[in-house]
Structure 1
Amino acid sequence: MYLGIDQQSGLVYEGIEGPVLPVVPRPTVTQAKLIKRDEDWNDLPTGIAHSPMSWIFREDTFDPVTRTRRGRLFEAESRQPAAYKVLPDPYEDPHGRSVGAGGRTTKTLFAYKACAPLLQEPQRGMGLKLALGTRGAASGWRIVQTEVVASGCVMVTLKSLSAFGILPAVNLVEIPEEFKQSISQAIERVLDAAFRESPISVIDHCRDALTVLLSRWLVAQGHDQSILGDDLGKIASAVARSPHDKGGISWLAQVVARLHSRGKTNEAHSRGLRDPVEEDAELAIQILGFALRDIGWAT
């Protein structure tokens, strides 16, 4: 199966032997790039006119509750763009005035075919990250299922990696003025790093954010300001003591502190610990969200 995008109008065409049939209604198509290294985020496409050789994702369904997208993935044809004789699109030419011989009209299309390179990846790409969008704005997704459907298309199911569906918004109204900037900056660093940087880096950002967040909350509750210079372990212990009694936050904060230590090569080696993975980084982000909600500083 082929997919074609009109160079002038952006109208979409498809077909088994070539992109000749207009797709009605027009689907959502997005440029895509497989992310194998952190540096790949700096090499995203810059729009179809400037980066026509990128992969294309054609969305079929989107579930905002489970944060999953399902659609077809295409790779570029070798010559871009090229002229194709297509059937007239009913939106553009409802009366067929542009029809020539054989009932077709000529269009200049960016053409794409089923994304065979993904099938050559280990596990047919399952578990890898896929960026959708351009360098100006892109989102991160994990490939959780890959199939080849009867038409020959490569169908993928994607799970969102966006931290904006995980972390609650910070309620700045509840935070003392002197702490608003430091807390906002710490949370922002987590959001910038989430699923883009390595798991160790994301965990480090979460540890720092928890240290800033909980120490400032303790001071706002009347604790001595010396707590602002303590590490996360001491802060977590203080959170658990009376009159705060936030045992859940304390235990979870210590989990993040333990995950952080796994990022230290010598300590991990001496204790026989495995390296942190993406799921560990996601756990750290979830713990930060739990802490925000439990101390009442989330919207």
Structure 2
Amino acid sequence: MHLGIEKNSGVAFEGMNNPDQPVRPQPIVSQCLLIQTEADWGQMPEGLHRNAHRWVFREDSFDPVTRVRRGRVYQSYGTTQPDSVVVYRDPTPDSLGKTVQAVTHTRLEMYRYIACTALLAVPNRGYGMAFVVGSGAGTATYTVVQIETLLTGDVMVTLKERSALGVIPELNEALIAENSRKQVRQALERAVNSAFRETAVSVVDQCRNAIAAVLGHYLAAEEPDKAARMIGSELMPLGTMMMERRKEVCGSAALIVARMHSRGKSNEQAIKGVPEPNDDDAQFAVHALGLVLRELGWAR
């Protein structure tokens, strides 16, 4: 199946051999990217008019409760974008199939795509990989959970959203010392912005920084005379201090994230033979940050 996006109006067309019939109702269409290597995170889609040869995602359904999205994926057709396509002037049952002529047909310039068979050639067909939908600064990241080939030849994907929303709770700044609010807020914002949008190593690093900021300012409020040392401390000793204060949940979460962060260093991997943090580890780090906020009572 072919998909076409008219150059001037953005109207979508489709067809088995050519995108010559307008789609009704008009679908939601976005650029998309399968993350196959760490370098792909730095190659986000630029937008239709900046690069029309990117893959395209056509949404068929979205469940706001489960955050599951289903749709068809297309790849660029040919090397020329936009391309000239002959379409029906009046795509009614009486006119479909008629010989191309000026009375019944017209020619439009459109960005043209075809079913994304390239996705089927990816190892394991991309299952479990990150899949970005959107372009520029407006992107959302999903995990590929299923791929099907339809009777029309279209490639249908089922995606599960990756999101920090609901995992990292909103900060209750009223409970935090005034001189600590800005630093804690900024650390949390960096963690939220990195969650599932950067490499696993980067996400773990930002969560480590955020947990260290939270615990450092929490302990500084309890012991003002040691505030400078607490706020500037690394996460490992802060986690140990929380354990000594019988806040085992916070302490344990902090210590695990601190250990995971060190695994992101090549020398640690070589000396101890430990694996580099992966996406599951990054997800754990994000949950650990939310857990620490809730345990301290700093979450709304």
TM over 0.5: yes
Aligned residue runs from structure 1 range 223-242, under 5 A:
224-225=226-227, 226-242=229-245
Determine the C-alpha separation between the residues in 2 that align with 1:279 and 1:89.
Answer: 52
Hey, what does 2:6 align to over in structure 1?
A: 6
- Residue 234 of structure 1, CA deviation: 2.6
Matched, 1:85 2:86: yes
**8 A Cα contact 1:38 1:196, kept in partner:** no
Matched, 1:18 2:21: no
Aligned residue runs from structure 1 range 67-82, under 5 A:
67-78=67-78, 79-82=80-83
- Residue 41 of structure 1, CA deviation: 3.6
Hey, what does 2:286 align to over in structure 1?
A: 285
Residue aligned with 2:165, SS: helix
Determine the C-alpha separation between the residues in 1 that align with 2:167 and 2:61.
Answer: 21
Hey, what does 1:116 align to over in structure 2?
A: 117
**8 A Cα contact 1:42 1:135, kept in partner:** no
Q: Deviations over 1:93-125 (max 9, x none)?
A: xxxxxxx75644432221110001111111112
Tell me: CA distance 1:233–1:42, structure 2 relative to 1, closer, same or farther (3 Å): closer
- Residue 45 of structure 1, CA deviation: 3.2
- Residue 165 of structure 1, CA deviation: 4.6
Determine the C-alpha separation between the residues in 2 that align with 1:166 and 1:18.
Answer: 45
State which drifts further: 169-178 or 145-154.
169-178
Tell me: CA distance 1:262–1:46, structure 2 relative to 1, closer, same or farther (3 Å): closer
Tell me: CA distance 1:275–1:46, structure 2 relative to 1, closer, same or farther (3 Å): closer
State which drifts further: 70-79 or 100-109.
100-109
Matched, 1:47 2:47: yes
Determine the C-alpha separation between the residues in 1 that align with 2:19 and 2:222.
Answer: 65
Q: Which amino acid aligns with 1:30?
A: S
With normalisation by structure 1, the TM-score equals 0.87
Hey, what does 1:30 align to over in structure 2?
A: 30
Matched, 1:56 2:59: no
Q: Which runs of 5+ in 2 are unaligned?
A: 92-100
Residue aligned with 1:163, SS: coil
Determine the C-alpha separation between the residues in 2 that align with 1:87 and 1:277.
Answer: 50
Hey, what does 1:94 align to over in structure 2?
A: none
Q: Deviations over 1:149-207 (max 9, x none)?
A: 11111111122233235322222233222111211221122223223333222212211
Determine the C-alpha separation between the residues in 1 that align with 2:159 and 2:28.
Answer: 15
State which drifts further: 196-205 or 50-59.
196-205
Q: Deviations over 1:63-121 (max 9, x none)?
A: 2222221110000111322232324589xxxxxxxxx7564443222111000111111
**8 A Cα contact 1:81 1:110, kept in partner:** yes
Tell me: CA distance 1:42–1:237, structure 2 relative to 1, closer, same or farther (3 Å): closer
Determine the C-alpha separation between the residues in 1 that align with 2:2 and 2:90.
Answer: 17
Tell me: CA distance 1:80–1:267, structure 2 relative to 1, closer, same or farther (3 Å): closer
Hey, what does 2:200 align to over in structure 1?
A: 199
- Residue 32 of structure 1, CA deviation: 1.3
Q: Deviations over 1:4-27 (max 9, x none)?
A: 111111111111121122211111
Matched, 1:273 2:278: no
Tell me: CA distance 1:29–1:275, structure 2 relative to 1, closer, same or farther (3 Å): same
Determine the C-alpha separation between the residues in 2 that align with 1:272 and 1:43.
Answer: 31
With normalisation by structure 2, the TM-score equals 0.87
**8 A Cα contact 1:146 1:154, kept in partner:** yes
Q: Which amino acid aligns with 2:36?
A: K
State which drifts further: 24-33 or 172-181.
172-181
**8 A Cα contact 1:190 1:209, kept in partner:** yes
Q: Which runs of 5+ in 1 are unaligned?
A: 91-99
Determine the C-alpha separation between the residues in 2 that align with 1:28 and 1:34.
Answer: 19
Q: Deviations over 1:197-246 (max 9, x none)?
A: 3322221221111111012122334564232233323322333445xx43
Determine the C-alpha separation between the residues in 2 that align with 1:76 and 1:253.
Answer: 46
Number of residue pairs aligned between Structure 1 and Structure 2: 289
Percent identity over the alignment?
A: 39
State which drifts further: 245-254 or 203-212.
245-254
Q: Which amino acid aligns with 1:154?
A: V
Over the aligned positions, Cα root-mean-square deviation in angstroms equals 2.4
Q: Which amino acid aligns with 1:18?
A: N
Hey, what does 1:185 align to over in structure 2?
A: 186
Determine the C-alpha separation between the residues in 2 that align with 1:44 and 1:265.
Answer: 26
